[in-house]
Amino acid sequence: MELRHLRYFVATAEGLSFTRAAEKLHLAQPSLTRQIRNLEEEIGVCLLDRAKKHVSLTEEGISFLADARRVLALAENSVRAVQRLSRGEATQLDIAYSHLFIADLVPNLRRALRQSFPQVALSLFEMTPAEQFIALEARKIDLGFVGHRFSAAAKNLQWASIARHATVAVLPANHPLARHRCISLKDLETLFFVGMSEKTYPAFHEWLRETCQQAGFTPRILQDAELAEGLITLVREGLGVTLAREQIGKLPHEGVVLRPLTPPVKTDYWIAWNAGNHSKPLQKFIQIAKSLSEKAPETRRSSAPGAARANWPAVGSIAARQ
């Protein structure tokens, strides 16, 4: 049995006429009649009741018609899907993120992508940066809102900075520096620091060192937390101070104060994707993320050396890929 046999049967069953079906299929009627008869003989079931003046479906034919339609639709969808893949048009984008930093962007990202690629499904999955790096390398996600750029990440990743966030000092509420409205990085030189674990945020220590080195010192990191909430707990318990993006203030932080730095320190927020992923919807998504971030206060767009560049116009749960 071949797909053409199913097409012949469906055309005949829908029109209940060999003559009309033959015209629709551009076949000679005797040839169509023979093909339908061959199909019935192959499966051993009579599908059509042939009377002198009309054709009707048998009970078996009614059941077989529904299945034949599904098989033909599946075959057509499969062809279209592989054609879209050949043109670099994915049907789904899997994006990983940290809710703390892009929650405000999500509705606009979905809306803008749907306008450009209504056939593309956008799936968002919350992952730690470490999980994102692994998934990006394995092509299990299309793009990650990774936050910090990680110099030791796989060489096949491309990067773009979509925003710059204010950096704040995080201190116990009873610390003497907490009385100041602003804090100089140099004021933190003699203090112990706490940080984020390399297992979950592999670029945090690197970023913290580079930031503190702007003031001429290397931070002494005594203990790490797995999550941002744990980082706040370590600070509240007096185990050290730390630096973070201002968005950390969205989390409950009783017993902890956040103080802006003077002079101000800005931290780039990075997205990353696999260089081998040439999906057109992905490139559009990158454009949209940059464009939306540009409209937000205190943000800017910049591309890292080697990141994909193009003259794009402005645009106003995970079951990992197997």
- Taking only the tens place, the pLDDT of each residue in 165-187 is 999 999 999 999 999 999 999 99
Q: Are residues 275 and 190 in the same domain?
A: yes
Q: Quick check: 34 pLDDT over 90?
A: no
Q: Are residues 41 and 122 in the same domain?
A: no
Q: What integer is the mean pLDDT of 37-64?
A: 80
Q: Are residues 242 and 166 in the same domain?
A: yes
Domain that holds residue 47: 3-86
The set of residues, in sequence order, having a beta carbon less than 8 Å from that of 270 and lying 6+ positions away, is: 146, 147, 148, 149, 159, 160, 161, 162, 304
Q: Quick check: 322 pLDDT over 80?
A: no
Q: Quick check: 225 pLDDT over 50?
A: yes
- Residue given tokens 């201190």 in the structure block: 171
Q: Are residues 141 and 290 in the same domain?
A: yes
Q: Are residues 161 and 281 in the same domain?
A: yes
Q: Quick check: 234 pLDDT over 80?
A: yes
Residue 88: per-residue pLDDT: 53
**Which of 104, 147, 106 has the alpha carbon at shortest distance from 125?**
106
Residue 69: per-residue pLDDT: 82
Q: Quick check: 80 pLDDT over 50?
A: yes
199: DSSP letter: T
Q: Looking at the chain, how many residues does it have? A: 322
Residue 90: per-residue pLDDT: 56
Q: What is the CATH number of the domain that holds 260?
A: 3.40.190.290
Q: Quick check: 208 pLDDT over 90?
A: yes
CA distance 39 to 50: 15
183: DSSP letter: B
Q: Are residues 119 and 145 in the same domain?
A: yes
In whole angstroms, what separates CA 299 from the centre of its chain?
21
Asked which of 86, 104, 135 is the last residue of a domain, the reply is 86
Q: Read off the pLDDT of residues 265-303 as tens digits, 9 standing for 90 and up.
A: 999 999 999 998 888 888 888 888 888 766 554 443 333
Instruction: Report how many domains make up the chain.
Output: 2
Q: Read off the pLDDT of residues 101-127 as tens digits, 9 standing for 90 and up.
A: 666 677 777 788 788 778 788 888 888
Q: Quick check: 188 pLDDT over 90?
A: yes
Asked which of 86, 120, 144 is the last residue of a domain, the reply is 86
Asked which of 28, 63, 86 is the last residue of a domain, the reply is 86
Residue 83: per-residue pLDDT: 67
Q: Are residues 274 and 194 in the same domain?
A: yes
Domain annotation covers residue 121: yes
Domain annotation covers residue 113: yes
Residue 310: per-residue pLDDT: 30
Q: Are residues 10 and 100 in the same domain?
A: no
Residue 298: per-residue pLDDT: 46
Q: Are residues 75 and 98 in the same domain?
A: no
Provide the β-strand partners of residue 279. none
Phi, psi of 179 (to 5 degrees): -75, -15
Q: Are residues 158 and 299 in the same domain?
A: yes
Q: What is the CATH number of the domain that holds 15?
A: 1.10.10.10
Q: Are residues 23 and 99 in the same domain?
A: no
Domain annotation covers residue 321: no
Burial class (CB in 10 A: 0-12, 13-18, 19+), 70: exposed
- The dihedral formed by the CA atoms of 209, 162, 245 and 215, expressed in degrees to the nearest 10: 40
Domain annotation covers residue 319: no
